[in-house]
Amino acid sequence: MHSFHLTIVLAPLAAAIIAGLFGRQIGRAGAHWITILGVGLSFVLSVLVLKNLYWDGGAAENYNLYTWAVSDGLRMEVGFLIDRLSALMMVVVTFVSLMVHIYTVGYMKDDAGYQRFFSYISLFTFSMLMLVMSNNFLQLFFGWEAVGLVSYLLIGFWYTKESAIFANLKAFLVNRVGDFGFILGIAGVVTFTNSLDYATVFANADSIAAQNIEIFAGTPWNAISVICILLFIGAMGKSAQAPLHVWLPDSMEGPTPISALIHAATMVTAGIFMVARMSPLFELSETALAVVIVIGAFTAFFMGLLGIVQNDIKRVIAYSTLSQLGYMTVALGASAYGAAIFHLMTHAFFKALLFLAAGSVIIALHHEQDIRKMGGLKKYLPITYWTALIGSLALIGFPGSAGFFSKDALIEAVRDSHWLGQGPIYWIAYLSVLLGVFVTALYSFRLFFLVFHGKERMDDEVKSHVHETPWVITAPLILLAIPSAIIGWFTIEPVLFGGFFGDAIVVTSAHDVLGRMGEEFHGSWNFLKHSFVAGPVFYLAAAGVFTAWFLYLKRPELPAKIATRFSAIYRLLEQKYYFDDLWIKGFAGGGRRIGQFLWTRGDEQLIDGVLVNGTANSVARLATTLRHLQTGYLYHYAFAMVIALTLFLGWLLWMH
């Protein structure tokens, strides 16, 4: 299998290099063919790897490719850990990436940077695969930063657009805030285990937990809690958890295919994947898990609310992504890592589908993104309509859809997480994911109704040109709609309750809520029936859809009235809780002001003005006098040499 693994990462890399460096020579068709073939090959081989590990009972593989460096006994390696967790991620990543590659042929067909775009998305696929296939923290960080780089390049793909180049800088810097925590976490891991290798670190997890670290003198904190929280700060950046979420909505400035691939299905889930991968560490710190769950709950509920007031089709979906990532984070915090990864998988399908469907609408309307200028598109875009409906139903957890199984299981896991006790953390987590269901249904179907139903609000010029998009765009929609609709049926039992992840995910028995749920699980059909009687989830979703229908189709004049009536709340939502101000005015502005102060007061006035120039002026006066005797700066130096040598010789003579 080793040659498979290597081919899986190298095929997209090679394609990216060829399309990037020789784009002009191979032409547009050459660029898309070579990258599609590269990613296609990776996808097929990833499926074979998963098949080998799951159906054929193959053993997980953990090996090093080459030694990056060895210093001070610390081995820094590049290598692969291929178990079912990484294999599942590989299949999801390569599948969505393949769909996006095909879709891009249609979406970017008139763009001057066609080859560059294909090169970037293939490079992204390579980086993401290196991240999920890594067997050590160094390579994880390498992949982590590499996907961040490609995300930066792609958000700013249209680099003449001011909003795009603002957004990509913002995205990179906010992610770097997360990485700041992440690298400290990795340094902490090395400090306590002297290793970067997952297996070695996990084997020594107990010994980390037995030690303390004094960050503030006199207050010893458990080392594993500190390390896990630092690592989680990294996840908060990449997986856009509040307050590090501010970059994701702006990242919508990038072309839609990458919003689907990078900013919905794969890169943003890297943080979720990372925490699941680190489960042997997180399991040892209930403090860290509590932090995870609270951050996730806040993001899941409050970011969902913001989706209701957005009018840009992509931004609505972006806030939905934030909220769904919050769901996954809550699951991680509840020790239901499997449920988080399961939701990650279904979400990758239906959210990529929704973004690509949005992209289909956008190009059908000649790059219109404002949903107030849409409406009634059902009859013009039938394939887009039906696939978007499947995606939306999956997103709100309509019974039977992929999203239903993953979200219902996730919510149930949170509800039954007894180790959380009945304290505020439990109720924050549970109520957030529960009420979030209503919010999700409301913003999803608000979007759906405003785009596809109701009055046609486009101008006539646009309307006359609207027609369904070409097959390279609709085919990926259909191919993504299929798993969005049905994959939950087949996968819930093996993935969640069948011990699918084996040793890849470690859960202590006190936290093992999925294990207990598995004992009561009697097939997908029963799970489905159960959902109607077990709890309010289904009814909350239905209420959300009904509310959306009532407000946006039945009584479309109402939302404006509500906004006026509750203007304070509306403004808070419209201003996105002022998080952007916190970062842009607070941190970025503050940093610049401090920098300016240090430069003008510190360097220029204090050091140069008082210390240097004071001395320099006296020397300058001397030098000016001497310059009349001889020209050229060599003289200054010769002068120095003479003085130095005089001192030197004088000293020697004196000593002898």
Partner 1 sequence: MNFSQHILSILIWLPILGGLGVLALGDGGDTSSARAGTMRLVTLAISLLTFIVSVFLYLGFDGGTAAMQFVERAPWIDALHVEYYLGVDGISAPLILLTTFITPLVILAGWKSVSSRSAQYFAAFLILEGLMLGVFMALDAVLFYVLWEAMLVPMFLIIGIWGGERRVYATLKFFLYTFLGSVLMLVAFIYLYGKTGDFNFFSFNEVSLTLTEQKYLFIAFLLAFAVKVPMWPVHTWLPDAHVEAPTGGSVILAAIMLKMGGYGFVRLSLPMLPDGSEYFSGLMIALSLIAVAYIGLVALMQKDMKKLIAYSSIAHMGFVTLGFFILWSIGSKSGAALGITGGVVQMISHGLISGAMFLCVGVLYDRMHSRQIADYGGVANTMPVFAALMVFFAMANAGLPGTSGFVGEFMVIIASFKANFWFAFVAASTLILGAAYTLWMVKRVLYGEVANNNVAELEDLSPREFAVLGILAASVLIVGLWPAPLVDMMSATVEHLLEIVSHSKLPVN
CB 286 → partner 1: shortest distance, Å? 22
CB 179 → partner 1: shortest distance, Å? 5
Tokens 């800088």 sit on residue: 169
Identity of the residue numbered 438: F
Which one, 189 or 441, has the nearer CB to partner 1? Answer: 189
Which one, 147 or 437, has the nearer CB to partner 1? Answer: 147
Which one, 167 or 291, has the nearer CB to partner 1? Answer: 167
Which one, 156 or 544, has the nearer CB to partner 1? Answer: 156
Which one, 189 or 504, has the nearer CB to partner 1? Answer: 189
CB 75 → partner 1: shortest distance, Å? 10
CB 369 → partner 1: shortest distance, Å? 21
CB atoms within 10 A of CB 287: 15
Identity of the residue numbered 255: P
Which one, 159 or 532, has the nearer CB to partner 1? Answer: 159
Which one, 223 or 345, has the nearer CB to partner 1? Answer: 223
The answer to whether the CB of 387 falls within 8 A of the CB of 514 is no
With the CA atoms of 141, 349, 517 and 424 taken in that order, what torsion angle do they form, in degrees rounded to the nearest 10? Answer: 60
For 535, the token pair is 């709890």
b (16+ CB within 10 A) / e for 139-168: bbbbbbbbbbebbbbbbbbbeeeeebbebb
For 530, the token pair is 């159960």
CB 35 → partner 1: shortest distance, Å? 18
CB 227 → partner 1: shortest distance, Å? 10
CB 117 → partner 1: shortest distance, Å? 14
Which one, 177 or 481, has the nearer CB to partner 1? Answer: 177
Beta bridge partners of 28: none
CB 266 → partner 1: shortest distance, Å? 19
Q: Show the beta-strand stretches assigned E in 179-300.
A: 212-216, 219-222
Tokens 């029963």 sit on residue: 526
The answer to whether the CB of 159 falls within 8 A of the CB of 296 is no
Which one, 54 or 158, has the nearer CB to partner 1? Answer: 158
CB 588 → partner 1: shortest distance, Å? 8
Cα torsion angle, 66, 72, 73, 74, sign: negative
DSSP secondary structure letter of residue 495:
I
Helix then strand then coil, % of the chain, to nearest 5 = 80, 5, 15
Q: How far apart are CA 492 and CA 405, in angstroms?
A: 7
CB 312 → partner 1: shortest distance, Å? 22
Question: What angle (nearest 5°) sits at the alpha carbon of residue 86, between those of residues 82 and 92?
Answer: 135
Q: How far apart are CA 97 and CA 352, in angstroms?
A: 10
Q: How far apart are CA 169 and CA 588, in angstroms?
A: 12
Which one, 236 or 316, has the nearer CB to partner 1? Answer: 236
**Closest of 268, 223, 248 to residue 167, by C-alpha:** 248
The answer to whether the CB of 206 falls within 8 A of the CB of 143 is no
